[in-house]
Amino acid sequence: MSISRRRFVAASAGCASYLAAAAPLLSASALRRWSGAGARRMVAQTPFARIEELGDGMFAIVSTPLDGDFTTVCNGGIVGGSEGTLVVEAFATPEGAAWAAEQARALTGRWPTHVVVSHYHGDHSAGPAGYAEGGESAPALRATAVTRDLVQGSPGDEAAKAPWADVVVVPEDGPGEIDLGSRTVAVVPRGGHTASDLSVEVDGGEGPVWCGDLVWNAMFPNYMDAVPSRLSRSVRALQAIAADAFVPGHGPLADAEAMSRYVALIDSVEEAARDAWRRGINSDDAAEAYEVPVELGEWMMFSPNYHQRAIQAWMDELAGPEY
């Protein structure tokens, strides 16, 4: 178990050290937001994550990797029903997943029966072996076939990937449902952050919405695998849901105002990329000139090249057959 964790941390050491170095540069208000000021009732807190209560039997896991503890890295959640407990995401390490499972058991009275992984990136998908711990039977691991294939085809620890051989495939032709007894949870296929992303939506969209990495809050999004126009459509579809809380893939919980700010951010990236494309400026120079509009507040950089990646992703699309 610890081997895969060490590998992950080694693989992402560039990000970790950048993040740790940048933390002291954040303003007091940004730091307060990250550390959970204004958060909902907190039911657990560790150096790497906190758990906030979202409603009856529903909890958000908000990871706090700013100090370099990469046990969970991504956000996730816990949804309990009379017949089952769902955990959203498999996190960056088996230790992170095992911790989430223990928290689920403490908060809902049941070890997870279902796990949904939103997309293939390692910070969401590397830990499922941790769900087989605790002397309990492992939950059903649910993801799309595209996500499963991308995980299995990525380099990494084969032992840590073993649970992916038994994935329960989530269809991509329309929303699916997970029956937890007293409540059903919708699992909705979307895309744009990667080739295949899932959101998890409770109570017909009136409850919380787990957005995966389609949505980031107070942290500039990663466009590594993005198809930006599809991302933009997916984000707008999520924004249209009348949810009381949006759980982003990274960063503190988002409300409607935070969703508007995020939409304005990705629109500002699109505008900068289209303008540079028209004027024949490359993505390095365009990223150098790009600044997040001040009215959108501070957006933490997980890695210093994220502006360039975002603009380049748009340019790749603009160079394609649709434009």
**CA torsion angle 109 112 118 124 (round to 10):** 100
Residue 127 or 249 having the CB closest to Zn ion: 249
Q: Residue 286 Cβ, how far from Zn ion at the closest point, in Å? A: 24
141 and 117 Cβ atoms separated by less than 8 Å: yes
Beta partners for residue 78, in sequence order: 59, 87
Residue 58 or 74 having the CB closest to Zn ion: 74
142 and 116 Cβ atoms separated by less than 8 Å: yes
Residue 123 or 201 having the CB closest to Zn ion: 123
Going from the C-alpha of 254 to that of each of 6, 33, 87, 129, the distances in angstroms are: 31, 11, 19, 30
H or E stretch at 232: helix 228-239
The burial of 321, by beta-carbon neighbours within 10 Å (0-12 exposed, 13-18 middle, 19 or more buried), is given as exposed
Residue 249 or 251 having the CB closest to Zn ion: 249
Q: Residue 87 Cβ, how far from Zn ion at the closest point, in Å? A: 16
Residue 151 or 286 having the CB closest to Zn ion: 151
Q: Residue 193 Cβ, how far from Zn ion at the closest point, in Å? A: 8
Going from the C-alpha of 33 to that of each of 29, 64, 79, 125, 313, the distances in angstroms are: 6, 11, 24, 26, 29
Positions in the binding site for Zn ion (CB under 5 A) = 74, 123, 213, 249
Q: Residue 249 Cβ, how far from Zn ion at the closest point, in Å? A: 5
Q: Residue 72 Cβ, how far from Zn ion at the closest point, in Å? A: 11
Q: Residue 226 Cβ, how far from Zn ion at the closest point, in Å? A: 12
254 and 246 Cβ atoms separated by less than 8 Å: yes
235 and 192 Cβ atoms separated by less than 8 Å: yes
Residue 55 or 156 having the CB closest to Zn ion: 156
